[in-house]
A = this chain, B = another copy of it.
Amino acid sequence: MTDDRVDGRTLRYRHRRPELLAAATEYVLDHGIDGVSLRPVATALGVSHATLLRHFKSKDELLLCVGDKIRGDFVRSWQQDEQFSTASSSAELVRMVWTRLCEPREQRQFILLFQLVGRAARRPADAQALAPSIVDDWLTPIEERLCADGWPADEARTLATLVLGHIRGLQLDLLLTGDRARVDAAFDAAIAMMHSPHGS
C-alpha cells in the first residue's frame, strides 16, 4: 500500500505484508504504544528488524497501518458478518456494534486510541496526520449506512459524529469503571435519538 519501491528484497517479502501487519496489530493491541519500537515488534514477530523495516518505514507508519487495519477489519465485520446483517435499522446495528465493542478483546482498540490521541494531540502536525484514520475514515461508513436508512446527508454527518463520540466517550468510562449497567443505560438513551431525525 505505502510501499512504492520495488526491488528484489521488496518483492521477496511483499506477500508477507498482510501476515506481518496482522501480527504487528495484535502485538500493539496487547502491548500499547509506550516504548514500542520496530525492533521488539520484529523480535516478537520472529522476523528481522530489516524485514519489518522493508514493510513499515517507521514506528509511526506501522501505527498508522495498524489503525487502518483495525478499522478495516471492524467495518468489514459490521458490513458483512451474518450477526450484523439481521439489524433492521441503523439504531439496532449501532447497538449490536456497541455490544461487540464491549468485549475485552475489542476494548483493546480504545486503549490504543486513547494512547495515540494522548501522544499526538499536543503537536498539531501529528494530530492532523492521525485525524483521517481516527475520525474521517470511521465517519464515512457510518454516514453511508445512515443515508442508506433514509437520513438526509447533513444530518447523517452530524449523527455519525455523535455516534462515534458516544462510543469513544462511553468506552473511556467503561474501561475505568467496568460499570456496564450504567454505561449501557447511557448508550441506550443515546441511540434513542436515532429513531427520529431530530432526536426530540
Contacts and interface: CB of A to CB of B under 8 A. Distances in A.
A131 B174 CA distance: 9
A57 interface: no
A189 B193 contact: yes
A13 interface: no
Nearest to A111: B121
A119 B199 CA distance: 36
A113 B157 CA distance: 26
How many residues of A sit at the interface, in one of the four size bands? 35 or more
A130 B198 CA distance: 36
Nearest to A133: B176
A102 to B, nearest CB: 14
Contacts of A170: 161-162, 165, 169
A135 B176 contact: yes
Of the candidates A121, A127, A128, A134, the one having the most CB atoms from chain B within 10 angstroms of its own CB is: A121
Interface in A147-166: 157-159, 161-162, 164-166
A190 interface: yes
